[in-house]
Amino acid sequence: MKRVAGRLVWAAAAIVAACGFGAIAMARGEPVNSVWIVLAAVGSYALGYRFYGSFLAAKVVALDARRATPAERLRDGHDFEPTNKWILFGHHFAAIAGPGPLVGPTLAAQFGYLPGTLWIIFGAVLGGAVQDFVILFCSLRRDGKSLGQMAREETGKVGGFIAMVTVLIIMIILLAVVGLVVVNALKGSPWGAFTIAATIPIAVFMGLYLRYVRPGRVLECSAIGFGLVVAALAGGRVVAQSAEWAPWFTYGGLALCGALIVYGFLASALPVWLLLAPRDYLSTFVKLGVVVLLAAGVVGLRPQMEMPALTRFVDGTGPVFAGKIFPFCFITIACGAVSGFHALISSGTTPKMMARETHALAVGYGSMLLESLVAIMALVAAGSLAPGVYFAVNAPAGAVGATAEAAARTISGWGYPVTAAGMAELARTAGEATLFNRTGGAPSLALGMARIFSGVLGGPRVMAFWYHFAIMFEALFILTIIDAGTRVGRFMLQDLLGHVWEPMGRASWKPGMIGTSAAVVAGWGWFLYQGVIDPLGGINALWPLFGIANQLLAALALSVGTTVLVKMHGAKYAWVTAGPLAWLAAVTFTAGAEKIFSSDPHIGFLAQARVLEQTGTAAGQIFNARLDAAVCAVLMVLVAAVLAVSVRLWAGLLWRPEARVLREAPFELSRLEAEEL
Amino acid sequence: MKRLRAVWKVVRGLMAELADERAYGRYLEARGERATGAGWRKFSEARMRAKYERPRCC
């Protein structure tokens, strides 16, 4: 009876997914309701988890519930601690979910909602979740080792070195690109700038409160911090409406860029407890709260998708970023489908807290599916905007024209009607001076979210509040990434330089600390600056670089996973990770080659440099285009090196089975009691 | 009701884990100490040092 009921449940899930996809497929030229997209996604995730995930867990890696995990064997009450499965699920999800799954799908919506939706769903089920799960499994069987350590052990020194260099490059480009998202969101917005500026003294207050007033009461302190941030949000409205105060908080892109660079340096040098940690606690709770709210809003409001399934920009002439669906959709949406960065989390804290090996399926595979659902929600929020509005917000002045009238004319000429008066009214409703040319994805996502939130809670009258709430939410955790990332980059650079000159490797050596902090800030600050002065909005150059770097890390993680699977089973199950790896290699190489060599100056960096040279543009911008090409070339060489080393290794392992030595920790029987799970 | 209570227990546990309050509890338990301001400062400094040496996800 139970078996029949189970089959009925999974048959129902299959029908739900089929209905979702069917409704999307049959809506030819008609707007489709977002509920069908959500149903297609949820049904696919359920089936993927139940059948493909279970297959991976049972057959491919053979999870063993009797085997003691590192959390049990190496338990120290600190890092290694067996933790409840669902608590660890939430912890892992909070760690993998950053701005990527929100911003990437928003930018990729320029192709229409269909390419992004399909890539997010199938990329996650067959690639991203597989990568996260397999790396988590590998780390679980190797005492919770990191991706870099495993790459060194399984694929040799080259793999370990590439992991380290890639992470450093990604960190620098990531910090620049998310910095640009914040700059573009706060540009000319006194309400937003005031609210975000207010979060700095609020975080300092929280740090002092937590250290001296109520030590250890983080939840209580975060609740107070959240109350203060909401008060700052209300204060922001007063500031924006005041003729006296508004100019004090109205900044252009360059001023915000400078402020962010100074902030990044100070935040990485200040004691962690004073600013970074309290802001991190606050942003984690706000992030989870907003994700839940967004999901509830989408389900409650069920907005219509105004964006067509495919736009005319599938031909590669998009104003948000240039390039065709293949390969650019697949590097624009990384987090949400496949993200190499997740492999660092799956081989970081999570394996050290897992009580049972069998929990890896829910935590590793399941968390990624949930993040993919967040990406779908972001796509729904962006796709529910009228296409004309979406392009007016996301297209740079260089592509559509500097004045409202010119931009409206250009965008309407593409077949997506929008008027300057309509945009002015929308900006007024959102409490902004203008919404034209607000590139980066954050403002259009905030608009979509505000529409959904205000549709469920408060109506159009509170649209401005929800818009700035969404901006505050995005900026809050992006700033946390900037200060934490600068710090992490500093440690990594110190570690790398320590191999050259020993004192640089000492974390406590002040000149080394200041020098490396300044170097990391200068690195991302330079890319941020070039993004701010870029007439095409910066995102066109920086986001693809970030996507390529992220997918390079995914290629490395999948190579490590394939090596372990070849050692376990020979060629039998290698396709599980080698398939996504082949896809990512094709995507990364094609995107990299196009970004360097394309003769279209909107796509190819070298062609762009040539055009800039011919038009007599400042030497700095020409240098920037060539620098981007060089960074892209370095990333491609690294991908090629990963693949060459891995293929050679696999050939050797397949040829000589006796060389298949697994470096797993020895089996030990678990003695955890049921209540400890 | 029982199920709701179980869900709340997980949500509360997750929030305490994200807030490092559970880790602090484990730290005190392992050392047989009671919660004090100095204890929290010592614990949080070590924990944050480790936390912010690891890359953050995008």
pLDDT tens digits along A570-619: 999 999 999 999 999 999 999 999 999 999 999 999 999 999 999 887 78
Q: Would you report the helix, strand and coil content of chain B in percent, each value rounded to 5? A: 75, 0, 25
Quickly count: other Cβ atoms within 10 Å of residue A501's Cβ. Answer: 9
Percent of chain A residues past pLDDT 90, beyond the cut: 73
Residue-range domain boundaries for chain A:
55-189+250-657
CA distance A574 to chain B (A): 27
Residue-range domain boundaries for chain B:
2-51
Binary contact (B18, A91; C-beta < 8 A)? yes
CB A432 within 8 A of CB A191: yes
CB A409 within 8 A of CB A442: no
User: Is B58's Cβ below 8 Å from some Cβ in A?
Assistant: yes
State yes or no: pLDDT of A421 exceeds 70.
Answer: yes
pLDDT bin (cut points 50, 70, 90) of residue A324 is very high
Residue type, A461: R
User: Is B12's Cβ below 8 Å from some Cβ in A?
Assistant: no
Sign, CA torsion A335/A341/A347/A351: negative
Whether the upstream peptide bond of residue A327 has omega within 30° of 0, thus cis, is: yes
Average of per-residue pLDDT values in chain A: 92
How high is the pLDDT of residue A581?
97
**What average pLDDT does the segment A88-107 reach?**
91
pLDDT bin (cut points 50, 70, 90) of residue A6 is confident
pLDDT digits (tens, 9 = 90+) for B5-50: 999 999 999 999 999 999 999 999 989 999 999 999 999 988 888 8
A557 vs A132: CA distance, rounded Å? 9
Binary contact (B44, A219; C-beta < 8 A)? no
Of A229-233, A574-578, A600-604, A669-673, the least confident: A669-673
How high is the pLDDT of residue A11?
92
Binary contact (B26, A77; C-beta < 8 A)? yes
Q: How many degrees, rounded to 5, is the angle at CA A320 between CA A315 and CA A322?
A: 40
ipTM higher than threshold 0.90 = yes
State yes or no: pLDDT of A534 exceeds 90.
Answer: no
pLDDT digits (tens, 9 = 90+) for A53-73: 999 999 999 999 999 999 999
CB A470 within 8 A of CB A99: no
User: Is B20's Cβ below 8 Å from some Cβ in A?
Assistant: yes
Of residues A79 and A624, more confidence is placed in A624
CA distance B10 to chain A (A): 6
**What average pLDDT does the segment A411-439 reach?**
95
pLDDT bin (cut points 50, 70, 90) of residue A677 is low
The long-range contacts involving A574-579, CB below 8 angstroms and separated by at least 24 positions, are A574/A650, A576/A56, A576/A60, A576/A130, A576/A134, A577/A130, A577/A131, A577/A134, A579/A126
State yes or no: pLDDT of A459 exceeds 90.
Answer: no
pLDDT bin (cut points 50, 70, 90) of residue A97 is confident
How high is the pLDDT of residue A561?
97
Residues from chain B contacting residue A484 (CB–CB below 8 Å): 52, 56
User: Is A508's Cβ below 8 Å from some Cβ in B?
Assistant: no
- Residue B58 has its nearest CB partner, among A211, A339, A491, at A339
A469 vs A195: CA distance, rounded Å? 9
Binary contact (A211, B41; C-beta < 8 A)? yes
pTM of the model: 0.94
Binary contact (A273, B44; C-beta < 8 A)? yes
Token pair of A16 as six digits: 């739900």
Residues from chain A contacting residue B10 (CB–CB below 8 Å): 84, 86-87, 90
User: Is B34's Cβ below 8 Å from some Cβ in A?
Assistant: no
pLDDT digits (tens, 9 = 90+) for A124-137: 999 999 999 999 99
**What average pLDDT does the segment A295-307 reach?**
93
**What average pLDDT does the segment A646-661 reach?**
93
Count Cβ–Cβ pairs < 8 Å, chain A vs chain B.
123
CA distance A653 to chain B (A): 32
Q: How many degrees, rounded to 5, is the angle at CA A329 between CA A324 and CA A334?
A: 155
User: Is B4's Cβ below 8 Å from some Cβ in A?
Assistant: no
Token pair of A74 as six digits: 């190496």
CB A398 within 8 A of CB A536: yes
Binary contact (B52, A276; C-beta < 8 A)? yes
CATH number of the A55-189+250-657 domain: 1.20.1740.10
